[in-house]
Amino acid sequence: MSSPSLQTRADTKVPARIARSAATTRGAHLRTEDFGGWLADRGRAHAFQVERIPFAELDGWSFQESTGNLVHRSGRFFTVEGLHITEEGEPYGDGPYADWYQPVIKQPEVGVLGILVKEFDGVPHLLMQAKMEPGNPNLLQLSPTVQATRSNYTKAHRGADVKYIEYFVGPGRGRVIADVLQSEHGSWFYRKSNRNMVVEAVGDVPLLDDFCWLTLGQINELLHRDNVVNMDARTVLSCLPFEDTSDGALLSDVELLSWLTGERTRHSVRAERVPLDSLPGWKCGEDAIEHVAGRYFKVMAVSVRADNREVTGWTQPLFEPVGPGVLAFLTREFGGVPHVLMHARVEAGFLDTIELGPTVQYTPGNYAHLPASERPLFLDTVLRARPDRIRYEAVHSEEGGRFLGAESRCLIIDADEADAPLDPPPGYAWVTRAQLTSLVRHGHYLNVQARTLLACLNATETRTR
Amino acid sequence: MSSPSLQTRADTKVPARIARSAATTRGAHLRTEDFGGWLADRGRAHAFQVERIPFAELDGWSFQESTGNLVHRSGRFFTVEGLHITEEGEPYGDGPYADWYQPVIKQPEVGVLGILVKEFDGVPHLLMQAKMEPGNPNLLQLSPTVQATRSNYTKAHRGADVKYIEYFVGPGRGRVIADVLQSEHGSWFYRKSNRNMVVEAVGDVPLLDDFCWLTLGQINELLHRDNVVNMDARTVLSCLPFEDTSDGALLSDVELLSWLTGERTRHSVRAERVPLDSLPGWKCGEDAIEHVAGRYFKVMAVSVRADNREVTGWTQPLFEPVGPGVLAFLTREFGGVPHVLMHARVEAGFLDTIELGPTVQYTPGNYAHLPASERPLFLDTVLRARPDRIRYEAVHSEEGGRFLGAESRCLIIDADEADAPLDPPPGYAWVTRAQLTSLVRHGHYLNVQARTLLACLNATETRTR
């Protein structure tokens, strides 16, 4: 009979090593002060242009006659479709009843977003990539080691191999630190999730062009700069385990999960796919599909010329929000433990009704027409926060492969009882950072905006100690 | 400023109290040896009859002209629809490519399955109900305190109130011990989940007819009898926390979650709703919709007369499996810690591709026509297990409100290297009981059959100590 050795269920050494990386702001390979030059150099090495084009100039993409959906002739990549969302009132849900139509991106394939880790001089470093995406405000941002769909890396895609993918999938991969399916933007994607992975390499790792090793401390510094660390990197960073010494919380874990279950249950949301070309409230033009009142976002198209992509030169549709967003955590300390006010959000494309979002997640322009009584909760508190209450602020943009200039001001704000009461309104709950880290080990608890702010919160914690 | 007191995140007292209840086989209210008499008495108190009827005799139910789906005229309860399932091969999934059609029950409403707990003589007791369901082989079984859909308990249903519901929802409810959305049969339901709750009552609880207080030790004894503890009770019982002293496992928690993520990612399953009346491979008769080869299940209808239901007398469709099923855990001890061999199963109606099922979950009759090489893995090992290897065996049936005579032989079997190797085939992993209990705190990890066997495993552990 075999007598295999067991492992302890929780590896406590990994969080300690991650903490060591976070505390190290001097990397073994690239100094943080040289990072801007390195990134600019990568930008110069790759000439590329992004131009807005009318839908008619899309190559390989067209509006399918039977459905009006925007599809690629290969049947691959993604489609832009219509969605009809109904949120039901009594007796099926708490309502209020809501009913709307919107375009949505359908991309059923699960991709890998992976960061490779390796120790240099006793400190774990993360392998990051300078990656161009057509929708990024500054085109080139810092992305995970790997950012690829399955058909990408199984080579259905006509193009180059995905670099470093062998460290994440297949028999020779490294030691897993985190591996979880996380949702992406539920307001723009229909049930999309990606595999967020952090893997420690065993043995040597060649350093290729466009890649650099950075400590978590260095990345945390870069997270304080505008539009440097891309969304894919931020969501993977949020999944890193960290050392947690605080065991206290306003809600016990059971109460927190019960609150979440209650929020999931009290909303009854139906999302039905409908043809894109007959969406009530939206108008199709030659250059864009847009909301009749100019709100939310446009579907539009771009032409891209670049040479460091798997495929050289392409056209594609993108979603372009009509204005910048605001993402904010309101935080308060209770009993000596910092808590974040989380919001149970319904988004049309979520797999399971609600996920936890930041306290505030809005595009203020979409609400400018509303009277004060109907404005989103906590939005004005965030917009009017005094500078001395702002613990973190930077502008970050969403996935530039699907979204054009989708920038949000990301804020972490110290609040008081007047701003955000101990007993919050329905749909909100105070959650500790340790609890957020426990939740993010599982999929579909924290939405992508909450994960961005969790990465920022972790970056702030490190900086101030 | 407020200075609220914090709670510890994990309440260690609750598992200890649950363990005390499990160790107590003498209840404060009803002796286990008197239980059979009590249940028979409840049966006599309620006259009821269940008769098979042709679809044409359904009252309020009909095949909708536009879709061919079987629906209720109120638009409520559930519908029977068609589903077209495609499991994709490369490059989107590991395949092999599969494509089939089947009827499916669509019931978008989330219900509450809740067990109320209260201490008597220092021992927590569970409030259980003798509940008739038309599909139960013996009609009357032991169910949770509450078993109700949302429209049930918000009174959209024309009938009596749901007893004890106020302990589970609303501001006056008790102290939550478990509260999680769990999936139900993914092969028969389209994305159905129910809220599994265990709540401890604060203050006195009136004891109504058809209800009895039992210790967990008593219920565990009843779990060793055939067809006594219903599915709804079993799934809620599986969510109880228990004291866990073993920290060792073949896979660390991160590795286990990573394996699960990998299994979710490598399967690409599309489930598309299609009309019921034109399902390839199925034939519609006056009394049943059945598979052309006589496999899987039939859709049929019954008439029910009873007086202890929220509504007195009704007709409804049911699913009737063509033969009994087998559910089995193969278990082995590694390094002194018992492990269960779990199977990552694709079921068409799952919210997210796969959930963990038992080692074996099959209706053997469906595979009788296959050559040995194509028979399901581990099925023959289970069917041929020597009596001295069988640690647990009982027949249980699935939800009698939807399924007619859906019985399965439930087994827990001690295996060896020849039966079930340390290094299992793809799609299988060894998991400890403590890990299963951690997973079941979250939804969509363990399927309903695995939860039945987890409840049985916990019942066995108690009995043998």
Closest CA to B74 of B84, B66, B64: B64
DSSP of A83-97: EEEEEE-TTTSS---
B324 cis-preceded (ω within 30 degrees of 0): no
Chain B residues in contact with A14 (beta carbon < 8 A): 254
DSSP of A170-186: STT--EEEEEEEEE--T
Where residue B164 falls (left for φ over 0; alpha for ψ -120 to 50; beta otherwise) is left
Interface touch A151/B91, C-beta < 8 Å: yes
Chain A residues in contact with B4 (beta carbon < 8 A): 250, 334-335, 422
What is the sign of the dihedral through the CA atoms of A236, A242, A247 and A250?
A: negative
For A67, A239, A361, A453, the CA distances from A449, given in Å and listed in that order, are 31, 13, 8, 6
Neighbours of B440 (CB within 10 A): 24
Q: How many CA atoms lie less than 13 Å away from A363 in the CB half-sphere?
A: 15
pLDDT in tens, A391-437: 999 999 999 999 999 999 999 999 999 999 999 999 999 999 999 99
The torsion of the CA quartet B95, B341, B137, B100, rounded to 10 degrees, works out to 0
DSSP of A185-248: -TTTBSS-EEEEEEEE--S-----TTEEEEEHHHHHHHTTSTT-B-HHHHHHHHTS-------E
For B96, B149, B154, the CA distances from A98, given in Å and listed in that order, are 41, 22, 20
**pLDDT of residue A172 exceeding 90:** no
B137 cis-preceded (ω within 30 degrees of 0): no
Q: Would you say B58 and B77 are in contact if contact means Cβ atoms under 8 Å apart?
A: no
Best of B9, B85, B152 to disrupt the A interface by mutation (most A CBs within 10 Å)?
B9
Distance from CA of B432 to the nearest CA of A (A): 10
For A241, A420, A451, B246, the CA distances from A430, given in Å and listed in that order, are 20, 10, 16, 32
H/E run at residue A99: strand A98-106
Chain A residues in contact with B250 (beta carbon < 8 A): 4, 6-7
Interface touch B108/A179, C-beta < 8 Å: no
Q: Which residues pair with residue A289 across a beta bridge?
A: A284, A299
Residue B165 DSSP code: G
pLDDT of residue B257: 98
Pairing of strands A407-414, A325-334: parallel
Compute mean pLDDT per 10 residues along chain B, 465 residues long, and list them. Answer: 80 92 96 96 86 96 92 92 89 78 93 97 97 93 94 60 90 92 96 97 94 98 98 98 86 97 92 90 96 96 77 89 97 96 95 96 89 90 97 98 97 97 97 96 98 97 56
pLDDT of residue A244: 75
Asked if B6 is an interface residue toward chain A (Cβ–Cβ < 8 A), one would say yes
Q: Would you say A382 and A360 are in contact if contact means Cβ atoms under 8 Å apart?
A: yes
Distance from CA of B110 to the nearest CA of A (A): 6
Chain A residues in contact with B254 (beta carbon < 8 A): 11, 14, 176-179
CA pair distance A49, A405, nearest whole angstrom: 15
Query: Terminal CA-to-CA distance of chain B, rounded, Å?
Result: 51
Domain ranges within chain A, ordered by starting residue: 13-49+109-238, 253-270+322-463
Chain A residues in contact with B6 (beta carbon < 8 A): 248-250, 334-335, 337
Query: What is the interface pTM, i.e. ipTM, of the complex?
Result: 0.95
CATH superfamily of A13-49+109-238: EvaA sugar 2,3-dehydratase subunit (3.90.79.40)
Q: Would you say B239 and B15 are in contact if contact means Cβ atoms under 8 Å apart?
A: no
Closest CA to A121 of A213, A45, A198, A202: A213
Asked if B422 is an interface residue toward chain A (Cβ–Cβ < 8 A), one would say yes
Pairing of strands A428-432, B140-143: unpaired
Residues 178-197 of B with CB under 8 A from A: 178-181, 195, 197
State the Cα angle at B213 between B209 and B214, rounded to 5°: 135
* B103 or A45, higher pLDDT: B103
pLDDT of residue B160: 56
Asked if A176 is an interface residue toward chain B (Cβ–Cβ < 8 A), one would say yes
CA pair distance A146, A197, nearest whole angstrom: 9
pLDDT of residue A47: 72
* Interface size between A and B, measured as CB pairs under 8 A: 171
Closest CA to B435 of B301, B248, B234, B223: B248
What mean pLDDT comes out for the span A16-40?
Answer: 96
Q: Which residues pair with residue A125 across a beta bridge?
A: A118, A215
List the structure tokens of A341: 């006010």
Chain B residues in contact with A258 (beta carbon < 8 A): 176, 179, 197
Interface touch B9/A434, C-beta < 8 Å: yes
- Identify residue B20 by its one-letter amino acid code: R
Q: Would you say B135 and B407 are in contact if contact means Cβ atoms under 8 Å apart?
A: no
Residues 78-97 of B with CB under 8 A from A: 90-93
Interface touch A8/B247, C-beta < 8 Å: yes
Distance from CA of B396 to the nearest CA of A (A): 28
Residues 204-223 of B with CB under 8 A from A: none
E strand segments, B159-275 = 175-183, 193-200, 211-215, 248-249, 268-274
E strand segments, B201-267 = 211-215, 248-249
Please state, rounded to an integer, the average pLDDT across all residues of chain A. 92
Range A271-287 burial, b when 16+ CB lie within 10 A, else e: beebebbebeebebeee
Taking each helix axis from N to C end, the angle separating A448-463 and A231-238, rounded to the nearest 10 degrees, works out to 70
Query: Terminal CA-to-CA distance of chain A, rounded, Å?
Result: 51
pLDDT of residue B311: 55
Q: Which has the minimum average pLDDT: A26-35, A226-235, B80-89?
A: B80-89
pLDDT band (50, 70, 90) for residue A311: low
Taking each helix axis from N to C end, the angle separating B231-238 and B448-463, rounded to the nearest 10 degrees, works out to 70
H/E run at residue A383: helix A379-383
List CB contacts of A19: < 8 A, sequence separation 6 or more.
Answer: A242, A243
Domain B13-49+109-238 identical in fold to domain B253-270+322-463: yes
pLDDT of residue A160: 56
Closest CA to B138 of B451, B396, B409, B459: B396
Distance from CA of B163 to the nearest CA of A (A): 18
Nearest CA in chain B to A108: B268
CA pair distance A235, A449, nearest whole angstrom: 9
* B159 or A32, higher pLDDT: A32
Asked if B10 is an interface residue toward chain A (Cβ–Cβ < 8 A), one would say yes
List the structure tokens of B33: 């040896």
pLDDT of residue A45: 83
Q: Which residues pair with residue A192 across a beta bridge?
A: none
Best of A8, A258, A267, A268 to disrupt the B interface by mutation (most B CBs within 10 Å)?
A258
Interface touch B247/A9, C-beta < 8 Å: yes
Nearest CA in chain A to B9: A252
Q: Would you say B125 and B27 are in contact if contact means Cβ atoms under 8 Å apart?
A: yes
- Identify residue A205 by its one-letter amino acid code: V
SS3 B15: helix
Pairing of strands A297-305, A314-321: antiparallel
Arch. (CATH architecture) of B253-270+322-463: Alpha-Beta Complex (3.90)
- Identify residue B203 by its one-letter amino acid code: G
Interface touch B257/A334, C-beta < 8 Å: no
Q: What is the pTM of this model?
A: 0.95
Asked if B170 is an interface residue toward chain A (Cβ–Cβ < 8 A), one would say no
Q: How many CA atoms lie less than 13 Å away from A236 in the CB half-sphere?
A: 33
Interface touch B264/A181, C-beta < 8 Å: yes
pLDDT of residue A158: 47
Q: What are residue B301's phi and psi, to 5 degrees?
A: -140, 150
CA pair distance A164, B213, nearest whole angstrom: 59
H/E run at residue A282: strand A282-284
Asked if B151 is an interface residue toward chain A (Cβ–Cβ < 8 A), one would say yes
Interface touch B11/A252, C-beta < 8 Å: yes
Q: Would you say B292 and B283 are in contact if contact means Cβ atoms under 8 Å apart?
A: yes
**pLDDT of residue A243 exceeding 90:** no
CA pair distance A342, A454, nearest whole angstrom: 11
Of A4, A91, A178, the CB nearest to B151: A91
**pLDDT of residue A301 exceeding 90:** yes
CA pair distance B145, B216, nearest whole angstrom: 14
CA pair distance A383, A360, nearest whole angstrom: 10
DSSP of B278-335: G-TTEEE-SS-EEETTS-SEEEEEEEEE-SSSSSSSEEEEEEEESS-EEEEEEEEEET
What mean pLDDT comes out for the span A24-46?
Answer: 94
Residue A387 DSSP code: G
List CB contacts of A107: < 8 A, sequence separation 6 or more.
Answer: A77, A78, A79, A149, A189, A192
Q: Would you say B343 and B361 are in contact if contact means Cβ atoms under 8 Å apart?
A: yes
Q: List the alpha helices (DSSP H) in B46-192.
A: 150-153
